[in-house]
Every structure is written in C-alpha cells, then in structure tokens.
Amino acid sequence: MNTDKHVIRNINRVSPDLVEAIKAFPSATIYEAYGAKGALNHFIKPIRSSMRICGPAVTVKARPGDNLIVHKSIYTAQPGDVLVVDTSSYVEAGFWGDIMTAAAQHRGVAGLVTDGAVRDSEDIAGLGFPIFCQALCIKATTKSCLGTINMPIFMAGAVINPGDLIVGDADGVTVVAREDVPWVIEKARQREEKEAKVSQLLKEGKTTLELYGLSDILQRIGLKEE
C-alpha cells in the first residue's frame, strides 16, 4: 500500500453526545484540563473571532499548493466532521474558497482547520462556515497531486489522528485524542468550578498572590521591595 496516496473512509469518531458536552468549554480550558497539551501553534486562528468549531477530525495531507485531495475529502467527511488539512504550512496559495465552502456545508461538514491559506474570507464568513487557518492568500492552486485522507498527520505542532476531537475558538485550537475525551470533559468541569470559586474570592478582596501562593515564590527567588 502506498501510504502517500491513500484514503480511509471508515474511522472511529467521538460520539455526538461527547461533542455536545465539550462545546460548553473554551479551547484554553480544554487545553489546561488536558494537562497543558493538544494546543495547535498560535498562528492557527479563525478568520473571524466569533467563529467556533467542534467535531471529529477528518485528517488530510495535501501537497503544498495543490487542493485536489482536499476536494475529495469533502465527500469523504460525514456530517459534523471537521476537515483538518496539513499543507506543510504552505501559505502562498489559497487552497480553499467560497465554492468549496458551499460544497462542504451541503455535506454538513462542521468546519476547516489548516496550517495553510484560504481565500474568499468575506463570503465564507457570510456563510457562517468556521475556518481556522494560518493565512489568507488569493493565489491559485493546482489540482494534480494526490495525498492522504484519514491517516495520522503532524500539523501546527500536534499529532492529529482521524476521529480525534477538534475544538477551536478565538483563542486557538485544541485537539483531544478520541479515547481521552470523556475524562478531559470531567477535568474541564472541575477546572471551571475551581476558577468560579477563585473569581468569587477575588471579589471578596483576596489577591492572586495569595490564592496561587505567588508571594512565596517571589520571596524564594529573591524579589526585593523598597
């Protein structure tokens, strides 16, 4: 089998109830609950800050500057899936635009995450389709190279397997391994409860220096006050 030119159609996905449950939490909370891991590199951001994304990953490895396999991935994805497209950080071509967005929406695709570039951002925003990318670029792509769909990829600093859960908002994108989602949700709930208590204590006059033991740290490492 040539793994550079391969499509896997059937993958295990995070269950819809878990997808709904994790939507309640910001990407940063999920990252912290996951033990400070799973965050994609900082440059992967939504084309509009109001955009949120959540769903199982359909992973795509595309040749830089070519979007043939990305077209195919739209028709491999199932409703609720998030297309995660690794372009090797190639941003000198906008491989995704309004026509592909319309096709993806018709299929029920939940959004796109990529280390590459897209174009037609105003039209896409108007369609309400969430896209998280590295850049915008009006330059054209070719349609002549194969790639892979639903095989592991390493993109923007993280390993992403097909079926892993993708969560994104204005702060960035976090990926959670499919088998870890249930306990990460529970940890996220615990974290939000703890932060709510901290917020209340701050309103009552406590300081972050007290609550997090920071005064002791400052003293230990030699801070001097005059």
> Beta-carbon neighbour count of residue 207 at 10 Å?
11
Residue 128 is assigned to a ligand binding site: no
Q: Answer yes or no: is 7 within a domain.
A: no
Q: pLDDT tens across 198-225, in order?
A: 999 999 999 999 999 999 999 899 988 8
Number of domains in the chain: 2
Same structural domain for residues 169 and 192? Answer: no
Residue 97 is assigned to a ligand binding site: yes
Q: pLDDT tens across 144-196, in order?
A: 999 999 999 999 999 999 999 999 999 999 999 999 999 999 999 999 999 99
Q: Answer yes or no: is 198 within a domain.
A: yes
Residue 120 is assigned to a ligand binding site: yes
Q: Answer yes or no: is 4 within a domain.
A: no
Distances (CA, A) of 127 to 2, 100, 104, 106, 137: 37, 12, 11, 12, 19
Residue 137 belongs to domain with CATH number: 3.50.30.40
The domain of 195 spans 186-221
**Amino acid of residue 116:** G
pLDDT of residue 168: 98
The pTM for the full model equals 0.92
- 187 or 7: which carries more pLDDT confidence? 187
Same structural domain for residues 69 and 154? Answer: yes
Residue 131 is assigned to a ligand binding site: no
Same structural domain for residues 121 and 217? Answer: no
Same structural domain for residues 119 and 164? Answer: yes
Residue 51 is assigned to a ligand binding site: no
Same structural domain for residues 92 and 28? Answer: yes
Residue 115 is assigned to a ligand binding site: no
Same structural domain for residues 143 and 210? Answer: no
Strands 111-114 and 131-133: parallel
Q: pLDDT tens across 93-133, in order?
A: 999 999 999 999 999 999 999 999 999 999 999 999 999 99
Q: Answer yes or no: is 9 within a domain.
A: no
pLDDT of residue 224: 83
pLDDT > 80? residue 5: no
pLDDT of residue 1: 43
Q: What is the mean pLDDT of residues 83-92?
A: 98
